[in-house]
Structure 1
Amino acid sequence: MSVVDLSALTGGLKSLPPLSLYIHFPWCVRKCPYCDFNSHEAKAGFDEAGYVDALLADLELALPAVWGRPVTTIFMGGGTPSLFSPEAIDRLLAGVRARVRVHPDAEISMEANPGTVEHGRFEGYRAAGVNRLSLGIQSFDDGFLRTLGRIHGGAEARAALEAALGHFDNVNADLMYALPGQTLDQALADIDTALCAGVTHLSAYHLTIEPNTLFARYEPENLPDDERSADMQEAIEVRLAAAGFEHYETSAFARPGRQCRHNLNYWTFGDYLGIGAGAHGKVSAHDGVRRQMRYKQPAAYLKAVAAGEPVQEAHKVGRRDLPFEFMMNALRLTGGFDEALFATHTGLPLVQIARELDEAARRGLLERQDGLIRPTLAGQRFLNDLLTLFLNDKA
């Protein structure tokens, strides 16, 4: 597959960025009405062993593109990875280690939903090598959970969180705010419950009505307006800061040293190989940057892997697209990024975006200081406006 020749245009990438591995599990018990991820209801079950076989075959087919590069983080997402047994996860991770060089200190994350986990499974996941767990809780309030179409209740969420923290010292809780009919106090109550449990990381997401979801067809009533939503966001940030959490990314908060290293690699335009149904990947070589997507439908994916062609779409990242792609990730980091990283991970000189940086600074959306480029508070609040400045038609 041809790619843009960065070496001819810019001198090329002098070094390759860190490499992560993303593994997608496409099945859920039930599709949530707000979800636009590649997930499919497991109405007729699924072949657990067959899917693990396919993932490992997919990885083998991808090896030439990443040969010899160490994997620094692994993230198992979905869908619902916790539908898979500890034995399957153990076989999968053992197979990964047999095929690629996994860093001894690699962060290995796994998503789990309270409604799909027997608490005894946590011990098995930990024994398999998972060292970071992310629980999709969304809320501890039974009424809001019903509105969101979740299959667990508040008591189940609390019990799952307690059990997870008994086996993992690094646990994230996904929570949503700006829910239909939600008050500021109710939003903060969810945050306080997670804090009291002892989580090390919190992802606090504003409920967004995404296209091609059930909520897009039948929008729920009594959604908080922009002002109430902004009040919730600000109050959550204040509450978490008081609890010692760093707001290090648009929706991510962590205790010191507990930032999600896998996501940080995304946000600094690092590389990631994606395997599994619908998985996306971005892999650099010294001559350019490639993006790929696997077949989305599980049956189509399994068939494609068997044929030795799991990649449905692949394309080069053009020279004029690289600045926006880099900034779309890096400007999510509230603390900003070292300006040298732009050249290191894109192969382009920073002067390529000098005009856009100056305009963003003039508008009060971005600041540069001591070699760092970071969004201002206004830039964080109006991130889309900031990113738009880096969409350009320069050849």
Structure 2
Amino acid sequence: MHVASPTKLLIVDDLPENLQALNAVIRGDGRQVFAAGSGEEALALLLQHDFAMAFLDVQMPGMDGFELAELMRGTEKTRQIPIVFVTAAGKELNYSFKGYEAGAVDVLYKPLDARAVKGKVQVFVALYEQREATRRQVEALELARQQQEATLAELNAAQVQLQRALTMRDEFMSMVSHEMRTPLNTLYLETQLRKMQLERGNMAAFGAEQLQRMVARDDRQIQSIIRLIDDMLDVSRIRSGKLSLRPGWVELSGLLRRLVHDLTPQAITAGCTLTLEAATPVSGWWDEFRIEQIVVNLLTNALRYGGQQPVEVALVVEQEWARIEVRDHGPGIAPEQQEKIFEPYERGVGNEVPSGLGLGLYISRELAEVHEGSLTLRSAPGAGSTFILALPRRDAPPL
């Protein structure tokens, strides 16, 4: 609820006894009277306060009442204040005409008629208070309108987000169905083929070499399903704040050599070379499984979208940080896409048909940040892409 502030009145006179007398006449409940002994003092008060009306003595040393009124009329803040001139001069000096010409609402001659003064003050105070009440109502309405617009904008944004979430859900379910169906269909067909061979008594189809190929195919399909399930579980853990690390002492250069060696056959299949520059050993307190997960994802993406160009891995050692940089020489990524690819369910674009659920980079960045590190991208169309995993170098925490 708004608590009304006192209505302020200004009286200006160079004689203290006149200020005291006028103060006694116009003061009242809910009013605050300010007194100034000169035009200069009055100007200082006018700049600090909002007045309902002003009583100005015409004849003052220095700046007289007419000069003060002219200054008030020339300033936006004080232009609308009702001015009443007060003078002890005789009416033959025609101050009334000059006062009205200066924009006064009235000119009073001393000795003042207390009842007339009180009546004028009552009228102008009432007008001022009505005007202030109207102004506050208009401000309240404007504030309510702005709040309503803000609420509407929030609702619209929420509706857009909800629609996007529903679209993403539908797309996600479609992707899950597609990605799960591929290895499951392969497993199903393999199972049916073996069942048919068994029913026909064709045991020759299950020789050592054939069994080895069957097991390898089964393992690939099962690993594909496990990766999909793991990605979905990781997203669930991230969103529920339950993604935790199991840190241990990790040596990065050895880890990278092993991963590059393991992925070299995949690089050959993709028609490109995979090289490593990690001459300086560096150890730190990290989750080895999660670091592997990030690097494998970066390397797999580089081989898939690198346009059969060389892929380079480098380990950069600094005093407080270790950086793993994975660079491809593919088509690069447009600036407007560079942050978007780290969002969930965003899949790569290019000549390769996107595969997976589009969660790899999203999960990788979250894992980097859980390590209090970062995963960033440096790329430009036609200039390839470099993903940079920065990890803080820290010793094991004290027991």
Q: TM-score, normalised by structure 1?
A: 0.23
Q: TM-score, normalised by structure 2?
A: 0.23
Could you say which structure has the higher strand fraction? 1
